[in-house]
Structure 1
Amino acid sequence: MSNHLAVDFTGRVVIVTGAGSGIGRAVAVSFADAGAAVLGVGRNEQALAELAAAHEPIETICRDVTEEEAPQAIVRAAVDRWGRLDVLVNNAGVFLSMPLHEVTYDRVRQILDTNVTAPSLLAGAALPYLRTSRGSIVNIASTFGHRPLALAGHYGASKAAIEHLTRSWALELAPDGIRVNAVAPGPVETSALAASGLSPADVQQIKDAEAARIPLGRRGRPEDIAGWVVRLADPAVEWVTGQVLTVDGGLENT
């Protein structure tokens, strides 16, 4: 998609969290294809090594974004390597199916630490460098941040928080020339459902049900999302900020 839209990130530096698989991997590759130097962040060292080996413009750092020192370490790694930072993509997230009767303190904290706190601290750590480059932040939200989701309300609430933060940061940072937008994917073919603890049979049942509800007739692919992340970060789109772009095959309209 980056080639089709003639997006050029040559000379620019991008951080992508959750880059080892799924949407994050596709985003990292799309930025690299558009000419950017990319720092891919993740927890799976082997997956990151394979990503970097396959794409020369991508370097990686193995960190858990919820660790207290991670935000500063991640931003410092990019700036030490390339001397600047132009784009932060807050993609790392966790999905947990958590019916109300199964709510625990630790599970709620896991969702909020990963999906809300870590992106906030990363954005704060990146801010001085984004001011210099007049760069941008792209957050990965979810259709379910503005659409009810039975049995996973806390996940939806965390993504609703990201939508609100996106709009609020856009207002706050506009005087610095920093744009803040979000992409809200619908159901996408990633490992998130399998990693949530659901059985393979339950995962397949959910996938089939989702595909049946989506007007365009299929679940998304990571590449469906990645192109829009790159486009929203493009400096040429200089008058777009505070927006949450839903990319879900029409699910939002059902």
Structure 2
Amino acid sequence: MEKVVFISGSAKRLGAATAQALHQQGYRIVLHCLGSYQQAAALCEELNFTRPDSAALVQGDLTQISQLETLTAKVLAQFGRLDVLINNASSFFPTPLDEISQPAWQTLVGSNMQAPLFLSHYLADELKRRKGTIINMVDIHAFRPLAGHSVYCMAKAGLVSMTDAGH
């Protein structure tokens, strides 16, 4: 049976490239998007054209904890299993200390730290059952903060800490 990977934020850029690469390796792909639905749907169609019934798409707001359990149920319903979770979705924009707002906090922490934590939590039993894995995507700014991007850097550093603590 083909292994299944769920990639959050996989409509474009790194997420889409990761989906294409893993699809070429034989994985079934569950794509995810929030606002980039047309791009995600086009990628899903492209993958299914290459290999029928090998890709599916779920849409959801990762910054809303209340939606994450339902989203993970939708992910599992696509192919009946999950072997790999890739927490790729990420918001990135500046937050100078004197301009930080609650919506900016929720968007940056929600997509970069909170969603990976809760997606990992809700999918843990399935991943253990399949001897699966979780991949959390971070960048250099988790280790070398970027001026004016304090909330983003804090969230990515938190994700690194969560990943290290999960061993």
TM-score normalised per structure 1:
0.60
Could you tell me how far apart the structure 1 residues matched to 2:145 and 2:78 are?
42
- Does the 8 A contact of 1:144 with 1:156 survive in 2? yes
Contact 2:30 2:56 in 1 (8 A): yes
Match of 2:11 among 12, 20, 24: 20
Displacement of 1:69 after TM fit? 4.0
Q: Which runs of 5+ in 2 are unaligned?
A: 49-53
Q: Which moved more, 1:87-96 or 1:66-75?
A: 66-75
Partners of 2:154 and 2:65 in 1: how far apart?
23
CA separation of 1:80 and 1:105: change in aligned 2, threshold 3 A: closer
1:204-246 Cα deviation digits (max 9, x unpaired): xxxxxxxxxxxxxxxxxxxxxxxxxxxxxxxxxxxxxxxxxxx
What is the alpha-carbon root mean square deviation over aligned residues?
Answer: 1.4
SS of the residue corresponding to residue 90 of structure 2 reads: coil
1:150 alignment partner, SS class: coil
Letter aligned with residue 86 of structure 1: D
Q: 1:52 aligns with which of 44, 53, 58?
A: 44
Question: Does the CA contact (< 8 Å) of 2:32 and 2:60 recur in 1?
Answer: yes
2:31 aligned to 40, 61, 73, which one?
A: 40
Answer yes or no: is the 8 Å Cα contact 1:48–1:62 preserved in 2.
no
Shift of 1:90: 0.4
Task: Quote the offset at 1:158 in angstroms.
Answer: 0.8
Report matched runs for 1:93-242 at 5 Å. Answer: 93-170=90-167
Q: Which structure has the larger Rg?
A: 1
| Superposition deviation, residue 31 in structure 1 | 1.2
Alignment partner for residue 20 of structure 2, among 26, 29, 34? 29
Q: Secondary structure at the match of 1:55?
A: helix
Higher mean alpha-carbon deviation, 67-76 vs 125-134, is at 67-76
What stretches of structure 1 of length at least 5 have no aligned partner? 1-9, 171-254
Moved over 4 A (4+): none
Q: Is the 8 A contact 2:30 2:78 kept in 1?
A: no
Name the counterpart of 1:219. none
Alpha-carbon distance in structure 1 between the residues aligned to 2:47 and 2:154? 35
CA contact (8 A) 1:17 1:42 kept: yes
- Structure 2 partner of 1:77: 74
